[in-house]
A and B are shown apart, each in its own frame.
Chain A
Amino acid sequence: MGLLTGKRVFSVVALCMMVGLLLLPIVVALPSPAIGEEAPAVGDQAKKDGDKVEKGRDVYYKTEGIVVGAPAPKTTDGPKDYPRYNFESRVLIWFANQQHLYYGSFVLAVPIFCMIIEFMGVVTKDKALAKRYDQLAYDFIKISLTAYSLTAILGGILIFTFLTLYPAFFSYLSGIFRPVMHIYALMFVAESGTLYIYYYGWDKMKEGFLKWIHLSMSVVLNVIGTLLMFLANSWIGFMMSPAGVDEQGRYLGNIWHVIHTALWNPLNLHRILGNMAFGGGVVAAYAAYKFLASKTDEDRAHYDWMGYIAMALGVAFLIPLPFAGYWLMREVYAYRQQMGITLMGGLLAWLFIIQATMIGILFLSTNYYLWQAMGRMRGAEKYQRYIKYLVFLLACGYMVFITPHTMVMSPAELKAMGGQQHPVLGNYGVMSAKNGGINVIITTTVLSFVWYMRGNKVSTVSWAKFGNIFMGVFFACAYINIIWLAIYGYYIPANVRVGLSVPQVATTLSCLFFMFALNSVMMRGAKQMGPIEWGKISARSQYALIMLATAFTWMMGLMGYIRSSVRLFWHVNEIMRDNSPWAYTHTVGFAANMISANVLFFWISILFVFWLGSLTAKKVPVESKAGIPGSVPQPAASH
């Protein structure tokens, strides 16, 4: 008892320390208007001295502020501003940045998964299942821990690369973000401390009140991680859509304006969802790899289940991702029309077609995995014969989604076509059709999920027949509404058309939430046709998971490149010009090769991380092994 009390005290102290660490940067930040504090003082002095103080106008907020920073440097091509090796500096920074981002995303996403899975373990009444969830969460964080060190190392490499290859730019950026960068560093310390206590305290705090304390730590860990990401996002947000500075790039004393730029919030949301989907994909690929390498049925069952959970979590965040992306693009257009057109209609438009292709691959892989997964349930055969119609819907939606507005063709083909736009397919190349296409794809994915969830069950509620009819009609109406709105979009003003995406998204999300909820109610107490036979799934399904993860990785690389390229020849858009010899946009082919090289490097290095993790593999406690799938009812997470 005494020991338990001691543990409790220790846990509470640990938690308080973490909260303290979390608050530390805020405390540090309070006087941090170091600059902001000086500013009024200067202002007061100015009042005394007359009009000696110079004022500037914020380029975005249009407010006036006292100039407290130096103007953005006007760089020249030479060793002073752009020292270099005998190589393209931009490619080096691209590589360092991308690798840091991959690992950063992974280590930010995995603790969120851990938090969710650990919570599921805590609230699950089935003890065997609860232990399995707990073990899964532990496995996740173990993978993340090694990756965390690599993230920090890559972050260091990135900073050194900036300092050595782009000193003028980095000096300007760090001058503007001085207080934020210190807070960032402190938060990193807080994140590390929390993570280590969370990981090493796992066994000490595995039951009762202590478990809740442990779970709270994961919340704290994720809050810190998310704030870290928000701060990092503020730098790229500033580079794309600067605020808080005047036309010469001089800081005007309001750090919040510098952070809270036009694109900051959409970037934050997009990155959170993207990281989660990416993290899910990587863990699912890890599980798939382990599944394929497994020698026993027990291992296969475990990794099959792990892959399923990771995939389900990843896809849960993938579904809203296109909508978050849509919001980001909308804000980009609102911020600068040229930027939006360069992205989606101009120079970078072809990269968006590649992006659409990757998004389609993600959803197709997900659907394919779910159909394969139905194979391990008795009773799911009844849905198999309808899969061809889902394939048809997915393929049509996909083809519309990837149709380019401006087609690649030879002059002879152009002449034969009789104009730049194809009179039939050209209609698929505009946003209205594409919104319809992607919403059809997502709705079909939801339908596949619903089929999977009821695969081995027969509803026993008295109103089951009515419920099934209602669900069928609901989905049919959803498809009709989505397609109708896509057509209607051609006949209305553009600003109204943009707004049409809202009812389309609402339709898709209604299917997701209402149908999931209805299905859950209908399947409560349902008759089981048989257990889910974990591990009895085709190898193709695991390749689908690997494909899912690779597509995520490739798409992240691509989107990062697009987002960065849209600044064209600016380090900081319209404020600080890039005068290096590499201030041009790479060809699509070069960019694709570079992204592929980054993806390849990441996967080779993460395999090394997985291998390292396996060296310290923790033996699964016997009692939790007893509950390993095969002999266990389906996991709660799946349904």
Chain B
Amino acid sequence: MKALMSLGALIGVAGLLLLGGMIFDIVPSTTIRLVEGYMPMQLLFEVGCYVIGFAGLSYILNAMGMAIPRFWQGIGFWVFFLMYLKYRVYPPIPFSVRAMYGTVSLVAVFMWVSANEEDWQKFKQPIMNVLDAQTGMNKLLRYAYLFLLPILIGGFSYNAMMPKSEEPIELRTVHPAPPASTKVHGKTYTLQTSQNPYRVNTEGKYDQEYTNANIVEQGMGRLMKPNANPWDEKNQGYLKYVREGGEIFFQNCHFCHGDNLNGRGLHAFAFNPIPANFTDPGTIAQLQETFIFWRVAKGGIGLPNEGFPWASVMPPWEQHLTVDEIWKVILFEYWHTGYYPRTWD
């Protein structure tokens, strides 16, 4: 048990040193890389390691007779977590999300330190000591709080009320609800029921499962399925259409959406927000093919009211591409990213 706790303590100390280095800019945040494809779990795993590490550290210090008071354990962990979110995670997390996480972690710390009466008494003892002010130091602290707290609250109020020249925050609706149907090149398409005419098997029949089996495998590096190479000119059916869609993509779309379809094309950073990242599981992976068809055909100016603040510069591609070309380019986007279009069956 002691050995395990010692190991935990070691992890805790190492983690703290690393984070300290990141805070003071001695160590870059990317020292331990967030690995693409594993980032969300890596983050949770790291925080889990810290928790175990701190438990070990607390145990060892306790055994050495140098126990950290519960009050400082609670405050310390909360501050650590805020620092972790601010300095460890990259790219930077918007303040609104850090505020949410900060509040949850504060509640969690409160739940931990007050889960039983003994711990709660330990936690609030320093506060009670200052309030009771039985010693000179505590008296001094109490007077200090008497002055500092109103100043602090006043400062917050001033900061909150002071007119600012910053750009306002935006509640952008990235995927507004589509219309029931859309008219492209004179033909009406019902979005709930229409299908990509090129998602076909070798016999030319619409076949979702066949095409799903031939997409790029997800994961690190995104691997092409064996015997499913669309650049092989002998291929017919689905893979042939993927190739044709790819050609259209690289002639028209990749300047903004990037050659890896991650929204980082040549012109991407001229825009804010940058173009959609198709490799993100929150974009095309969440949507029906017909939704993409509508968005590609109508572009940014075709966004409905719900799409406020309409922050999209995508041209209405129906003015440049045929219906067939739009369907093919969508086929390519799904093939390349390894995602499956949403279906409702």
Residues of A within 8 A of B (CB): 333-334, 336-339, 341-342, 345-347, 349-350, 357, 360, 364, 367-368, 371-372, 374-375, 381, 384, 387-389, 391-392, 394-396, 398-400, 402-430, 432-433, 487, 490-495, 538, 540, 588
Contact = CB atoms under 8 A, between A and B. Distances in A.
A79 B113 CA distance: 60
Interface string B100-128: 11001101100110111101100000000
Contacts of B107: 364, 395
A409 B191 contact: no
B91 A495 contact: no
A384 B116 contact: yes
B40 interface: yes
Contacts of A371: 111, 115-116
Nearest to B263: A419
Contacts of B95: 409, 413
Given A392-B51, A423-B34, A423-B280, 4 more contacts: A347-B173, A387-B112, A395-B107, A428-B40
A391 B104 CA distance: 11
B281 A391 contact: no
Contact of B94 (A400, A417, A495, A540): A417
A426 B93 CA distance: 10
Nearest to B100: A402
B163 interface: no
Q: Name B's interface SS.
A: loop
Nearest to A431: B286
A350 B285 CA distance: 20
A490 B281 contact: yes
Interface in B273-314: 273-274, 276-277, 280-283, 285-286, 288, 306
A424 B111 contact: no
Given A420-B172, A424-B43, A495-B345, A341 B104 contact: no
A426 B233 CA distance: 38
A407 B170 CA distance: 9
A346 B340 CA distance: 21
A342 B177 contact: yes
Contact of B174 (A372, A375, A388, A406): A406
B274 A419 contact: yes
Give the 5 A-B residue pairs with the shortest CB-CB distance, closest first.
A493-B340, A409-B94, A494-B342, A395-B108, A338-B177
Contacts of A428: 40
B246 interface: no
Contacts of A493: 208, 212, 340-343
Nearest to B118: A384
B104 A395 contact: yes
Contacts of B285: 430, 490, 494
Interface string B159-180: 0000000111111111111111
B39 A416 contact: no
A353 to B, nearest CB: 9
Interface size class of B (residues with CB under 8 A): 35 or more
Given A339-B177, A391-B112, A403-B97, A423 B91 contact: yes
Given A342-B306, A347-B173, A491 B263 contact: no
A388 B39 contact: no
A77 to B, nearest CB: 19
Contact of B288 (A337, A388, A423, A430): A337
A388 B55 contact: yes
Contacts of B192: 336-337
Contacts, number: 216
A421 B97 CA distance: 12
A428 B43 CA distance: 11
B282 A417 contact: no
B39 to A, nearest CB: 4
B70 to A, nearest CB: 11
Contacts of B342: 493-495
B174 to A, nearest CB: 5
A346 B175 contact: yes
A368 B178 contact: no
B171 A391 contact: no
A433 B40 contact: yes
Contacts of A492: 340
Contacts of B263: 419
Contacts of A399: 100-101, 104
24 contacts: A333-B344, A339-B177, A341-B176, A367-B111, A368-B115, A371-B116, A384-B115, A384-B116, A387-B115, A388-B51, A391-B112, A392-B51, A408-B169, A414-B94, A419-B274, A420-B273, A421-B280, A424-B39, A425-B40, A491-B218, A493-B340, A495-B344, A538-B117, A540-B120
Contacts of B212: 493
A347 B177 contact: yes
Contact of A350 (B101, B105, B171): B171
A454 B97 CA distance: 38
A368 B219 CA distance: 39
Contact of B93 (A338, A395, A425): A425
Nearest to B275: A419
Contacts of B166: 410, 412
B108 to A, nearest CB: 4
Nearest to A360: B104
Contacts of B117: 375, 538
A421 B179 CA distance: 24
B67 interface: no
A401 to B, nearest CB: 10
Nearest to A343: B177
B48 interface: yes
A423 B39 contact: yes
B188 interface: no
A11 to B, nearest CB: 49
A405 B341 contact: no
Nearest to B174: A406
Contact of A391 (B100, B108, B179, B272): B108
Contact of A407 (B44, B96, B264, B280): B96
Given A347-B176, A407-B97, A588 B281 contact: no
A427 B286 contact: no
Nearest to B286: A430
B116 A408 contact: no
